[in-house]
Chains A and B, each alone.
Chain A
Amino acid sequence: EIVLTQSPGTLSLSPGERATLSCRASQTVNTRSLAWYQQKAGQAPRLLIYAASSRATGIPDRFSGSGSGTDFTLTISRLEPEDFAVYYCQQFDSSSMYTFGQGTKLEMK
């Protein structure tokens, strides 16, 4: 089973700063299957990025995804107040099917 490990667990930043979130896989991940989601308290997840670097419909261009192999990154270039939330990465492989990272909480400093 492919395990996704996200770091840091919590990231404390201020609006206007740059956020870099990491997702590391225990084995090579198909880039096409790596996605990122944002979840706010009491809400369902929202798709941000799919296929590692493609922005979902309606997602601002301050969100970007990159990476390949076992290391993937979600970058938020300039934080807005509404960006403070929990972020999850997700992958698919034929043996473990769909798995998610444990999440990174982005909190306001």
Chain B
Amino acid sequence: QVQLVQSGAEVKGPGASVKVSCKASGYTFNLHWMRQAPGQGFEWLGIINPSSGDTIYAQKFQGRVTMTRDTSTSTVYMELSSLRSEDTAVYYCAREPAHGSLYFDYWGQGTLVTVSS
């Protein structure tokens, strides 16, 4: 049974960084990060392969996002820096089940990140 469990809500000031974790149980080929601003749709941030650590970031977030993993705990991390108010959103990790799946079959419960002075 696949489960993705994310860390809890965060409140950060403008210019700060936030690091969100996603602990995976069960097989995960790739893990992706998306975000959903209040009342809005979804925005893709990037992908990490938990085995190799290889990453691909959305062009919009390159230079501000870093995805890492800890294989000993089956946990991946997404760190977003230089936070601004527009980064306030619920951040989700989601599983891509196999190479070339191109969809997300399991999602974490979401982590609310609030950027406020």
Which residues of A are interface residues toward B (Cβ below 8 A)? 30, 32-33, 35, 37, 44-47, 50-51, 56-57, 88, 90, 92, 97-103
Contacts and interface: CB of A to CB of B under 8 A. Distances in A.
A33 to B, nearest CB: 4
A53 B103 CA distance: 13
Given A44-B92, A44-B109, A44-B110, A35 B103 contact: yes
A5 to B, nearest CB: 11
B42 A90 contact: yes
A47 B104 contact: yes
B29 to A, nearest CB: 14
Contacts of A99: 44
A97 B58 contact: yes
Nearest to A93: B102
B108 A100 contact: no
B107 interface: yes
Interface residues of B, number: 21
B101 interface: yes
A100 B42 contact: yes
A100 B41 contact: yes
B109 A98 contact: no
Contacts of B41: 88, 100-103
B105 interface: yes
B108 A44 contact: yes
Given A33-B102, A44-B107, A45-B42, 19 more contacts: A32-B102, A35-B102, A37-B104, A44-B92, A44-B109, A45-B92, A46-B107, A47-B104, A50-B103, A50-B105, A51-B103, A90-B104, A97-B56, A97-B58, A98-B32, A98-B44, A101-B41, A102-B40, A102-B41
Contacts of B109: 44
Contacts of A44: 92, 107-110
